[in-house]
Amino acid sequence: MKVTSAEFIKSAVDLFYYPDDSLPEVAFVGRSNVGKSSLINTLVNRKRLAKTSNTPGRTQLVNFFMINKSLSFVDLPGYGYAKVPVSVKRGWKAMVEGYLEGRENLRLVVMILDIRREPSGNDDQLIQWLRSNNIKIVFVLTKVDKFSRGQVNISRRKIGEHLGVSYDELVSFSAKTRYGKDELWRVIEGACSPDS
């Protein structure tokens, strides 16, 4: 997809403040520091549309962006940062599940995982929850530039087994080299097309 415009729309704490529109929507989830902001910025060719941060766990809002005036990207707060107090973790769950449950125009969740790690307990819980709510997921394994091609293949296979998906259902990605960008856009466009 050729991105001609990408605008920040708003940040919201709950349903009441979500933008009231019916554009097809794609949500991005992942543990803190996994590379979610970098992935969004790479997709839309911008340096700082989604805020990258060296303070994991900082973003605790649902951020909405409009892309090409034809679809929305939603940056959901990252999870799994150990230093966050329990009350904040509970708030996260309510906010993220509230969004995911209530959003009729949601077409796809992009679940971002680090190619170098087994999915965590938090990742597994969210995946299980998404599956039980019949929400379509694409799994993206990011930071592949940190691995050799052989290591990428081994890890992809392992993570695929862990998730119960085939090797081909995973998208390898790098925000550094932009590897996988076109493939991920194809998945997003497919999920957002009117007849999908």
Q: Which residues in this chain contact ligand GDP in the complex, by CB under 6 A?
A: 30, 32-38, 52-53, 56, 78, 142-143, 145-146, 174-176
Q: Per-residue b/e over 1-34, b at no fewer than 16 CB within 10 Å?
A: beeeebeeeeebeeeeebeeeebbbbbbbbbbbb
- At its nearest, how many Å lie between ligand GDP and the CB of residue 40? 8
Cα(118)–Cα(25) distance, integer angstroms = 28
Nearer to ligand GDP, 145 or 189 (CB): 145
- At its nearest, how many Å lie between ligand GDP and the CB of residue 182? 15
- At its nearest, how many Å lie between ligand GDP and the CB of residue 63? 11
Tell me the CA distances in angstroms from 182 to 122, 136, 140, 178, 187, one per residue in order. Answer: 28, 19, 13, 9, 9
Nearer to ligand GDP, 143 or 156 (CB): 143
- At its nearest, how many Å lie between ligand GDP and the CB of residue 57? 8
